[in-house]
Amino acid sequence: MTGALEAVRSRRSWSKVTDAAPTHAELLTLVSAAGRVADHSSMRPWRLIELRGTDRDRLGRAINKATGDKGSSSKPLRAPLLIAVVASYRKSDKVPRWEQEAVASGVAHVLSLLLDEAGWGVIWRTGLYTRSKAVAKAHGLVGDEELLGWLYVGGKPPRARLGRRKGVDARHHISRMPREASIPEPKRAGKAKKKKAKRAE
């Protein structure tokens, strides 16, 4: 069994983590690897933003502003490190917008796997406020960029219960291309013959 297969099979989301977090230098190594996902034309239509310390307070205030609440949301304080995943769309005649977003999502997913394998607890969080103007402004998004959510990262609690993630029955999610349907004889040919017959009369 390969390391990649085992990493994917053992992955789980960690909703509660400790105050430990990977350093910026450690993160650079993992992001460099995650950036090798399939990327049509190697456009790299993505970027990541680290949120640490008081950055999380600023995000909390932006979230409450987006939801019409006062004060600051405590949601960003659930982990010591948040990694904002941003889709930075490029102008292209052959790579559509949806494909570029898929690349950004792929980077986030692979990064979450690498972080988990490195011993960190990770969960990908979103929310209705993810695409709000207040939250986008707090992150300094520019031009044609969209926020896809955050990877909440921290230490794995030593006594945490390991939840059993239900396995996927691949037979329900993979199939062959359907056989080509038999093409019926066009009815127009018959109508054409009748028209010719009427003309002959």
Domain encompassing residue 115: 3-159
70 within a domain of the structure (yes/no): yes
Task: Tell whether 68 is covered by a domain.
Answer: yes
| Exposure string for 173-190, b = 16+ CB within 10 A, e = fewer | eeeeeeeeeeeeeeeeee
CATH number at residue 42: 3.40.109.10
155 within domain boundaries: yes
pTM of the model: 0.84
Residue 103 inside a domain? The answer is yes
Residue 33 lies in a domain: yes
* Domain contains 46: yes
Number of domains in the chain: 1
Gap between the Cα atoms of 92 and 144, Å rounded: 13
| Residue 53 region by backbone torsions, left for phi larger than 0, else alpha for psi between -120 and 50, else beta | left
172, part of any domain: no
The tens-digit pLDDT sequence of the chain (201 residues) is: 568 888 888 888 999 999 999 999 999 999 999 999 999 999 899 999 999 999 999 999 999 999 999 999 999 999 999 999 999 999 999 999 999 999 999 999 999 999 999 999 999 999 999 999 999 999 999 989 999 999 999 999 987 766 667 788 999 999 988 888 755 667 665 555 555 555 655
Task: Sort strands 145-155 and 46-52 into parallel, antiparallel or unpaired.
Answer: unpaired
Contact between 153 and 82 under an 8 Å Cβ cutoff? The reply is yes
Within a domain: 192: no
- Do residues 16 and 160 touch, judged by C-beta distance below 8 A? yes
